Structure 1
C-alpha cells in the first residue's frame, strides 16, 4: 500500500466568522497564543509523515504563502520581536516538508478546493486538513492525521475522522451515517451535507480531517455544484463510499474550530495552559475568575 506523503490544506475566505471587519488578514493567520492557526495545521501534517504540503489559497491569501517562504524581512522581524521559538518552528517546517501553493481562482466550495490539488497529488493518496481546524493531542496521543494515515496504509480504504455532536449542531457539519466495525472504527454507509437534525438519525459529524485514495479525484472531476451552488466534498465522498468503500474513526485528541468565535477563544486558553511561560499565571487567573462567577 503506498505511503501517504501529500496533504491538501484548503484556506478559507478573507476575514473570519467572528471578525467580519477584517478584509486583508486570512483567518488562518490569526494567532493562537504565539503562532498563526495555519502553523498548527501544517505541523500536524508534518508529524504524520507528510512531505508535500499543498496550500490551496484564494484571493488575498498571500500572507499564508509569505509566512512559509524564506524571508529575511520576516525572520529579522521575528528575531527583533523576541519570537525566536516561532522562527524555529517555521524553519523546522521548511526543512521537513515542501510547501506548495496553488491558487483557487474561484471560490466554488471545498470539493473544488481539493480538486485544485490534483496537479501535485497526481495518482497518489493524500490527506486533507481544513485550514481553520486545530486538533491537538495533549497527553501523548497520536494526532488525528497520523491515525488516519495509519488506518489507510493498513486497510487501503479512504478513512475520515468523525465526532459526536448534539442535535443543535447537526446542521453545521457534513454528517456521516455509519455502522460500527470495532470500537471507535466504522464503515460509512452514506453522507449528507449540513442536514437538519430531523433529516438524519446520525450525530457523527466531519470535523475536517480526511485521508483519501486517489479515486476521490476522479469523482470530483465529474462533480456538479449542489448546496449553495458549490462543489461539495461530501457529495463526492458519498459516491466514493458507494463505489470504493469509506471508513471512519473517532479520535482522542482535542479539536478546536478556530474559525468560530468560541472555538478560537477555547483554543487560546487550552494551548496557553500547555505553555510553561503562561500556565501558572493563567491557571491562577481562571481559578480566581471562576470564584467570581459562582
Structure 2
C-alpha cells in the first residue's frame, strides 16, 4: 500500500442558493471567522499529511483561489512591519502560504452536471492504482480530521476499493441525505439517496469525505448519469462494491453542511463559538438579540 499524498477539494458549482454574493466569489470563500470555509478542508488535509491538493473550481473561481492560497501580499507585510504589527501577517497570511502545495483547475465543461464531475476533471493528476482523498468544500468537520481517519483506515484495509466517512443522524432526517446500508459490520452494501423515513436502511449519512482509488474514474464519465441525469460520486462508489470491499468509517468529529444559507449560518456560529476570542461576547449577545426581537414583534 502506498500512503495517499494527494487530495481533491471540489467547489465547481455556482451555488445559486447563495446569489447574489456567489456571482462574485465562490461559496467556499465565504468566511468562518477570518478564514474561508475551504481553508477548513485544506487544513484537514494538512493534518493528515497530504502534500498536494487539487482544487476544482469554476472559471471565475480559479483566479480567486490562486490569489488566496498563493499571493504573499508583500505590500501588506511591509506596511505591517512599518507599523510594528507584523504578527498580524505571520499568524494569518504566513500560515496560509505554509499550507500544502495547491493546484487550482477548472472543471471540464464537457462533463455532465453532477458532484462527480469535478473529481473526473482531475484525472490527469493521478497515476495508475493511486489512492487519494476527496473532500467536498461545503462539508465541514469539527473536532477531527476525517482525511486522517480515512488514511488510517486504508492502512488497516489496503485492499479496499474505497473508504467513506459517515455520521449518525436523527431518524426523522434520513430523507434529506444519502443513507448507507452496511454488510458484514463495516462494509458498504449500497447508498440510497433520500429514502422515505420508514424505508431507510440505517441512520448513517454518507457525506463529502472519501478515500478512493483511480478505479473510480472508470465510472465517473458520460453515460453513467444517475438521478436527475447527474454524474454522482456515490453512484460510482456503489458501482465499485461488486469489484471489492468498500469500508465505512464513522467520523470522530461533527459533520455539518454549509450547502445552504441557513446551515452555513449555523456552522459559522459554531465555528465562532468554538474558536474565536470574542465567543463569550457572542454567547451573551444572542439572548439579548432574541429578547429585543421578541419585544419588537
**CA distance in 1: counterparts of 2:243 and 2:26, whole angstroms:** 37
Residue aligned with 2:256, SS: strand
Cα 1:170–1:84, aligned 2, differ >3 Å: closer, same or farther? farther
Q: How many aligned positions are there?
A: 284
Structure 1 residue 39 displacement after superposition:
1.0
Structure 1 residue 121 displacement after superposition:
2.1
Which of 162, 166, 170 aligns to 2:166? It is 162
Q: Could you say which structure has the larger radius of gyration?
A: 2
Are 1:108 and 2:113 an aligned pair?
Answer: yes
Residue deviations 1:41-84, cap 9 Å, x none?
A: 1111111111110001123213222211224378559969x896
Are 1:99 and 2:124 an aligned pair?
Answer: no
**CA distance in 1: counterparts of 2:15 and 2:75, whole angstroms:** 22
With normalisation by structure 1, the TM-score equals: 0.84
Matches for 1:145-224 after TM superposition, within 5 Å:
145-156=147-158, 157=160, 158-179=162-183, 181=185, 186-221=186-221, 224=224
Moved more, 71-80 or 106-115: 71-80
Matches for 1:70-109 after TM superposition, within 5 Å:
70-72=71-73, 88-106=91-109, 108-109=113-114
Structure 1 residue 20 displacement after superposition:
2.2
Residue deviations 1:147-166, cap 9 Å, x none?
A: 11110122112211111234
Are 1:131 and 2:137 an aligned pair?
Answer: yes
Which runs of 5 or more structure 2 residues have no equivalent in the other structure?
none
Number of the residue aligned with 1:250: 250
**CA distance in 2: counterparts of 1:78 and 1:203, whole angstroms:** 53
Moved more, 228-237 or 254-263: 254-263
For the Cα contact (< 8 Å) 1:163–1:204, is it kept in 2? yes
Residue deviations 1:191-232, cap 9 Å, x none?
A: 223444455333321121111122222332475112222211
Cα 1:117–1:266, aligned 2, differ >3 Å: closer, same or farther? same
**CA distance in 1: counterparts of 2:79 and 2:24, whole angstroms:** 21
Cα 1:130–1:179, aligned 2, differ >3 Å: closer, same or farther? same
Residue aligned with 2:240, SS: helix
Residue deviations 1:241-279, cap 9 Å, x none?
A: 221111111123122212222321222222212335212
